[in-house]
Amino acid sequence: MSGTLYLVATPIGNLEDLTFRALRILKEVDLVAAEDTRHSRKLFNHYGISTPLTSYFAHNEAQKGERLLAELQAGKSVALISDAGTPAISDPGFLLVRRCRDEGIAVLAVPGPSAVIAALAISGLPTERFAFEGFLPARSKARREALRQLRTELRTTIFYEAPHRLPATLREICEELGAERFVAVARELTKLHEELFRGPAKAAVEHFGAGRVRGEIVLLVAPAAAGAVEPATAVDSVEESLRKLRGEGLPLRQAVKQVAKAFGLPGDEVYRRALAMKESGARHQDSGQGKKS
């Protein structure tokens, strides 16, 4: 019988974030394929893992993938890890997983740390709907074209970005999406110098333009604002946004439509919440009149 390929998530910074299951799998498998064996050796030494390591990275993915496939077909178990986080997410692994699936070899996920999810969770940006776009293009022209597509994007969009390119990218966000577009920048997640910046793009330019940017970067761009609704990154809830628009005299259906777009929610859900607010307000008013009488 063929073996099993395990996709094992490893810490993105803090070594204590390795799960018990991940530790057991890394110790039990016959071979671990790592993006950078020198980097992974630090993790292995910390936890006393003695399993053989082999390199598996972008430039040897096709050739090494055939070897790993042969090991799996021979009944060996293999764990795939990246330098940090979940393998095959903006890292090598997709081709091997697809080959294993085509060959009927079992592929199991050993979930754990993910920079994308960690950054989104602490960003304060809308989490109901989001899109992960990997790395932004390195060249300015292509990067600007990618950013232009976010002008009407109604989901939170997440990117990885190189620290040396971050200041330029933030300036381009100001120029392509507007200086008031909300962003969040998560830097060095789970590490000693972890930082989260959240605010308008123009403020981010000032913050990160003061000196050299270091560390791993996750860049999040807020959904496009709709009409008079503030960016969905603001502290306002759906109900607060509806209340503001209604107070400005906007008809109910228009207010619902704008809030639904700003928060990336179905229109019928926002409409139900608007009706519930209306009913609650009516009951409160009736109660107040009853007390006066």
Residue-by-residue pLDDT tens, the chain, 293 positions: 789 999 999 999 999 999 999 999 999 999 999 999 999 999 999 999 999 999 999 889 888 999 999 999 999 999 999 999 999 998 889 999 999 999 999 999 999 999 999 999 999 999 989 999 999 999 999 999 999 999 889 899 999 999 999 999 999 999 999 998 999 999 999 999 999 999 999 999 999 988 889 999 999 999 986 433 344 444 457 788 888 888 878 888 888 888 877 776 778 888 888 888 887 766 656 555 555 54
Q: Which helix (H) or strand (E) holds 44?
A: helix 37-47
pTM for the predicted model, two decimal places? 0.75
Q: Please give the pLDDT value at position 236.
A: 52
Give buried/exposed letters for 108-142 (b at 16+ CB in 10 A, else e): eebebbbbbbbbbeebbbbeeebebeeebeeeeee
The CATH number of 4-113 is: 3.40.1010.10
Return the number of other C-beta atoms located less than 10 Å from residue 275's C-beta.
12
| CA 271 to mean position of chain CA atoms | 29
| CATH 3.40.1010.10 domain range(s) in the chain | 4-113
Q: Please give the pLDDT value at position 289.
A: 57
Alpha helices in 178-266 (DSSP H): 201-208, 238-247, 252-263
Q: Please give the pLDDT value at position 79.
A: 98
- The tens digit of pLDDT for each residue in 149-183 reads 998 898 999 999 999 999 999 999 999 999 989 99
CATH superfamily of 122-221: Tetrapyrrole methylase, C-terminal domain (3.30.950.10)
| CATH 3.30.950.10 domain range(s) in the chain | 122-221
CA separation for the pair 32, 47 (Å, rounded): 14
Q: Please give the pLDDT value at position 13.
A: 94
Q: Please give the pLDDT value at position 258.
A: 83
Q: Please give the pLDDT value at position 123.
A: 95
- The tens digit of pLDDT for each residue in 78-112 reads 999 999 999 999 888 999 999 999 999 999 999 99
